[in-house]
Amino acid sequence: MQYPEWIWHNGAIKRWEDATTHVMAHALHYGSSVFEGIRSYDTFIDGRPNGAAIFRLTDHNTRLYASAKIYDMPMPYSVAEINAACREVIRRNGFSKAYLRPFAFRGLGGFGLSADTPVDMSVAAWLMGPYLGPGVLETGIDACVSSWQRFAPNTIPAGAKAGGNYLSGQLVAREARRLGFGEGIALASTGLLSEGAGENLFLVFDGALHTTPVSAALLNGITRNSIIRLARDAGIEVVERDLPREYLYLCDELFMCGTAAEITPIRSVDGRQIGAGKPGPLTQRIQSLFFGLFDGSTPDKYGWLEPLDA
Ligand code: PMP
């Protein structure tokens, strides 16, 4: 990762080296942070450049608020202020296509689990290619089912995008990499399919998309939601349902999605080839509907492209 020069921190733009926090920050000890991952893209209309846009900026920062609400963390800035900070960080670093990380965390002041430690905020941005490795959007990855399950209901809320949740993601992702796989897929405590370490899942059966429900210990992904809407509007059936593990092996096509992973095809799971072992036709169709939002071939009738210069 190449560090960006400028970071927004507690209301001001600062140099990378000045955006620091104390070793006694509550979040470092207790995982008390919430965050977002957002991408900006160069956009085009009729083949002509139409400036950079941040994909579903307001929806992401609204989810940041929802995550903070779950943990009873008072947010020090409004969604509009955080949106503005996101834009400022991208512009100040001279980026157009970037990955943004708004981050709110309990810092200093009081200590202990129930302390009303004040909430600090930062927004960073950096350049990031395909999250799961170069070329994976075209070739797909080999995945495995993790030996680690996601959180049981009413333990750690999977619906919050909170720092502490990513201890689970680290177990899943690190185990997969250690075993030589591109990514790990976790089961819920029910034994049914949940999601990837940091991505939601779509399985294809008979030309329809099947995705696991929010009750399966997953983050309700904004990419997942975008795919559901794009697919339904294109006349593709989408079913949200509980799915047993073995359906991973039996589906016609399989892909993961997320802001970082975008739409990453999966060509095998636990050594079983999926379909033809390469991105299938519906996966490619979804990729082109999704990336079409940026190259102009999919009209943005949803208002998802929020211009960088607003
Ligand atoms: N699940 C988890 C655990 C994630 O970390 C992410 C990435 N934020 C996703 C799913 C996908 O969510 P989104 O499409 O909103 O990035």
The dihedral of CA 300, 200, 105, 5: what is its sign?
A: negative
Residue 216: the pLDDT is 98
199 lines ligand 1 (CB under 6 A): yes
Residue that finishes a domain, picked among 126, 150, 179:
126
Query: pLDDT tens digit string along 56-101?
Result: 999 999 999 999 999 999 999 999 999 999 999 999 999 999 999 9
Residue 152: the pLDDT is 96
38 plus 168 within the same structural domain: no
Residue 117: the pLDDT is 98
- In whole angstroms, give the CA distance from residue 89 to residue 95: 9
How far the first Cα of the chain sits from its last, in Å, is: 28
Residue 38: the pLDDT is 98
**pLDDT > 90 fraction of the chain, expressed in percent and rounded:** 98
Residue that finishes a domain, picked among 84, 99, 126:
126
Of the pLDDT bands very low, low, confident and very high (cuts 50, 70, 90), residue 2 is confident
Residue 1: the pLDDT is 79
For range 124-141, the mean pLDDT: 95
Q: How far is the CA of 180 from the centre of ligand 1 (A)?
A: 22
pLDDT over threshold 90, residue 265:
yes
Residue 65: the pLDDT is 98
Whether residue 171 lies inside any domain: the answer is: yes
Domain with residue 231: its CATH number is: 3.20.10.10
223 lines ligand 1 (CB under 6 A): yes
275 plus 257 within the same structural domain: yes
Which residues are paired to 252 by β-bridges? none
110 plus 178 within the same structural domain: no
289 lines ligand 1 (CB under 6 A): no
Whether residue 169 lies inside any domain: the answer is: yes
Q: What is the SS3 assignment for 114?
A: coil
259 lines ligand 1 (CB under 6 A): yes
Q: How far is the CA of 47 from the centre of ligand 1 (A)?
A: 30
119 plus 167 within the same structural domain: no
| Residues catalogued as catalytic | 161
pLDDT over threshold 90, residue 283:
yes
Query: pLDDT tens digit string along 178-202?
Result: 999 999 999 999 999 999 999 999 9
71 plus 146 within the same structural domain: no
Residue that finishes a domain, picked among 102, 126, 150:
126
Whether residue 307 lies inside any domain: the answer is: no
For range 154-166, the mean pLDDT: 97
Look up residue 119 and give its two tokens. Answer: 């909430």
287 plus 144 within the same structural domain: yes
198 lines ligand 1 (CB under 6 A): yes
Residue 181: the pLDDT is 98
**pLDDT > 70 fraction of the chain, expressed in percent and rounded:** 100
109 plus 59 within the same structural domain: yes
Whether residue 306 lies inside any domain: the answer is: no
Whether residue 248 lies inside any domain: the answer is: yes
Residue 257: the pLDDT is 98
Residue 111: the pLDDT is 84
79 plus 23 within the same structural domain: yes
Determine the atom of ligand 1 nearest the C-alpha atom of 218. Answer: 1
| Residue-wise DSSP of 221-244 | -HHHHHHHHHHHHTT--EEE---B
158 plus 250 within the same structural domain: yes
Q: How far is the CA of 101 from the centre of ligand 1 (A)?
A: 13
Domain range for 166: 136-295
Residue 13 near residue 7, CB atoms below 8 Å: yes
Residue 227: the pLDDT is 99
Domain with residue 66: its CATH number is: 3.30.470.10
219 lines ligand 1 (CB under 6 A): yes
Whether residue 276 lies inside any domain: the answer is: yes
Whether residue 70 lies inside any domain: the answer is: yes
97 plus 245 within the same structural domain: no
Determine the atom of ligand 1 nearest the C-alpha atom of 226. Answer: 14
Q: How far is the CA of 244 from the centre of ligand 1 (A)?
A: 21
146 plus 118 within the same structural domain: no
The count of structural domains within the chain is 2
Whether residue 243 lies inside any domain: the answer is: yes
Residue 122 near residue 9, CB atoms below 8 Å: yes
Residue 213: the pLDDT is 98
Residue 310: the pLDDT is 83
48 plus 72 within the same structural domain: yes
